[in-house]
A and B are shown apart, each in its own frame.
Chain A
Amino acid sequence: MERLKLVLQYFQSNSESISNGICIVLALVSVKLYTSFDFKCPCLPQYNKLYSLGVMIIPPIILFFLGVLINRHTGVMMDEWMRPVGNRSKNPAVVKYLFSAMIQRALLAPLVWILVTLLDGKIFICAFSLSVDPALFSGLPNNTDLDVIIIMSKVPCKEDVIFRNSSFHKAVSRYVRCYSQAVGWSILLFLIVLGALGRLFKPCFDDHARFLQTRYWSNYLDVEQKLFDETCVLHARDFARKCVVQFFEDMREDTILRLSHPSVISHSLVEWRDEEEERLHGITKQEQVDKLLNKWYYSKPELDVTRIAHRPRTCVTWEDHKGKTLYTDL
C-alpha cells in the first residue's frame, strides 16, 4: 500500500510538472526565436503592413500548434473523448478539464511572442510608420522627389541614404515605439488582472467538490495510459523471449545413449542440468544451428507461447551394449 502510494505520487508529480516544464521551455524557445530572427522590414509602402502583421501573427499560431502537439494531455483527452462507452461511463467534465488545461498551457508561448514583439517595437514601427502624420515632426527630407508615403515607409530602414543628415526617422521611430510599448504593457496588465480575478472568484462559481473529483479522474486517466504502455512493453519483452526459447527448443531432438554400466545412471543425472547446457536449449550441432537460423528467416514461428508451459522434455533412454533398455525417461 505504501509503495503504491509512493508510485502514484511520483506519477502525479511527474506528469503535471513535466507539462509545466515543457510549457516554460517553449516560452523560452519563443523568446530565443525572436532574438535570433533577423527581422527585415521591406520598407515598401505596399508590403510593410502585410509583412509586419504576418510576423506578429503567424509565429504565435505555429507556437500554439507546437504547444498542443508536445503536451501529453492532448492524447489523453482525445482518447477519452473519442472512445466508445463500453463498460465505463463517460464524464464530459473530465474532458473539459483536460481541454482547458491543455489550452492554457498552449497559449503561453504565443502570448510571450506577441508581448516581446510589442515591447521591442521593431515590428510595430515597420507596420505603422506609414500611418504617422509627418507634420508632427520636423526635419522631413524634402530634397528628394519621392512621395511622402514612400519616405514614411522607409523610416524603419535606418541606413537609407535619405535619412543621412536628419534625425527625422529617429523621432518617428521613437514615437511609434512608445505606442507599441504602451499596447504591450496594457495587454500584459489586462492578462494579469484577468488571471487574478479568475483565481479570486472561481470558488464562487465552481463546485469545489466536483472540481476535486474531476481533477482526480483526469490525473487517473493519464496514469492509467502510462501504465498500460509500460505493461505492453514488458509483456512484449517476455513474449519475445519465450517465443525465441520455444523456437530453439522445438528444433532439438531427443537422444538415446548407449552406456556400459548401470551404476552410472544415478551419478550422471545430476550432471545433465548444467547451467551451460540449459542455455543451449538442446541445440548442440552445427547442422541444427544452421537449420534453426534458416528456419528463423524462412518460417518464423507463430505468435503462440502456450506450448512453452507444457513443453516436452528431452527424453533419454539408456541401453546397455546388448540393446536391453536399462532406464528410460518415458
Chain B
Amino acid sequence: MDKFRMMFQFLQSNQESFMNGICGIMALASAQMYSVFEFNCPCMPEYNYSYGIGLLIIPPLWFFMLGFVLNNNVSVLAEEWKRPTGDRRKDSSILRYMFCSVTQRSLIAPAVWVSVTLMDGKSFVCAYSINLDIDTFGNYSILRGLSEAERMRVLAKIPCKELFEHHELRVAASRYIKCISQACGWIFLLMMTFVAFLIRAIRPCFTQAAFLKTKYWSHYIDIERKMFDETCKEHAKSFAKICIQQYFEGMSGEMHGFHRQRSCANDSDDEDEDKKKSDEEKLLGIRAQDDMNKVLWNWHTCKPALALRKDQTDIENNGTVNGEANGTLNGFANGHAHDVKKKEWAVYYSKV
C-alpha cells in the first residue's frame, strides 16, 4: 500500500506537479522581469502609443509561446494529431483536452504580465497622455495658442519627469491615467478569474463521464510514449551488450584458431579452464596486446552486422571477422570441426 502511494506520488509529481511548477516559475519570472525592466517612454507623439501598447501586448505573446515551448505535452499532442490511424482509432476529444490543458497553463504567465503592467500604469500613461483634456485638472494656460502638432508634442512629454515643467499638472494627469489603468487591470483580473471559475466549477455539470474518459486516455498516451522510450533504451542496451560480447567472442575464436596454428603442440585450453571462471569470462578470450589492438581496429573499420545469432556452436574455420558468433556452449567447446551450416527460418506458431 505504501509502495503504491509512493509510486503514485512519484508519477503524479513527475507529470502534473512538474508542469504546475514550471507554470508558477514562469509567472514569477514574468512579474520579476517587469520590475527589473526599465520603462523608457519615448515622449514623442509618433511613438508613445506604439511603445506603450506594444509593451502591454508583445511580452505576453512571448511568454505564451515560451509556455508552449517548455511544455512537454506539446510534442505529445503534435504526435497524436499527425499519426496515421493504423490499428488505433483517433479520438478528437482527447486532442481537444490536451490542447486545452496546454493552453490553460501557458496563459498564466501572460496574464500575470498584463495585470502587473496595468496595475503599475506606466504604459497607459505613456500611450494615452496625448489624448488628455487638461482642462479637467484645473486652469492651466500652457496649451493656449498652440497649434495642434505643438499641443501634441507638449502633451506627449507628460510621462517624462525631466522634460515636462509643470509638476502639478503632470502629477494630476498621470494620477488620472493610472487610475483608469488600474481600473482596467482589476476588470481584466475579474474577467479571467470568472472565466476560470466557469470552466473549473461549472464544467462537471456537463459531460463528466466523457471527461473522465478523455483524461485517462490522454494521460495514457503520455505514459505509453515514456514506456516505449524506456523499452527501446533497455533493448538497445541489451542488444549492444550481446553484440559486443559476440564480437569479442568472435575475435577470440579467430585468435584461438590463429594461435593453434602457430603452436599446435601447446594445449593452452587446459590452462584456461584452470583459471577462475569470472575472470576468463570477462576477458572474452582476448589476452594479448596485439589481439586487443586488432579488436579495437576492427570495431571501427568493420562493425559487426546487426543480427544477433541464437546459435552458439563453434564455427571454427568459418569464423570471419564479420562477427559470426563463436561462443561456446556449456562445456561443449572447441573440439568439433564439423562444417555446420546455419539457416534460420521464420515460423510463427501461436498458442490460442
Contact = CB atoms under 8 A, between A and B. Distances in A.
Contacts of A61: 190
Contacts of A297: 83-84
Interface string A50-71: 0100110011011001101100
A174 interface: no
Contacts of B88: 300-303
A248 B349 contact: no
Contacts, number: 231
B347 A285 contact: no
B88 to A, nearest CB: 4
Interface string B298-331: 0000000111101111000000000000000111
Which interface residue of A240, A255, A272 has the most chain B CB atoms within 10 A? Answer: A240
B338 A254 contact: no
B227 interface: yes
Given A65-B193, A244-B231, A299-B86, A236 B220 contact: yes
Contacts of B78: none
A236 B216 contact: yes
Nearest to B240: A276
Interface in B207-228: 208, 215-216, 219-220, 223-224, 226-228
Interface stretch (A19-27, A38-46, A206-214): A38-46
B86 A65 contact: no
A78 B327 CA distance: 67
Interface residues of B, number: 86
Contacts of B352: 310
Contacts of A54: 183, 186
A312 B350 contact: yes
B270 interface: no
Secondary structure class of chain B's binding surface, majority of residues: helix
B345 interface: yes
B342 to A, nearest CB: 6
A241 B234 CA distance: 13
Nearest to B339: A321
A276 B219 CA distance: 30
Given A285-B308, A317-B347, A62 B330 contact: no
A308 interface: no
Contacts of A43: 172, 175
Given A75-B204, A276-B242, A65 B119 contact: no
Nearest to B192: A62
B205 A82 contact: yes
B69 interface: no
Nearest to B205: A82
B345 A255 contact: yes
A220 interface: no
Contact of A234 (B8, B205, B343): B8
A7 interface: yes
Interface string A244-274: 1100100001111111110110011011100
Interface string B167-184: 010011001101100110
7 contacts: A37-B119, A82-B205, A233-B219, A241-B227, A257-B311, A283-B235, A285-B308
Q: Which 5 A-B pairs have the closest CB atoms?
A: A299-B86, A286-B306, A253-B346, A240-B224, A78-B204
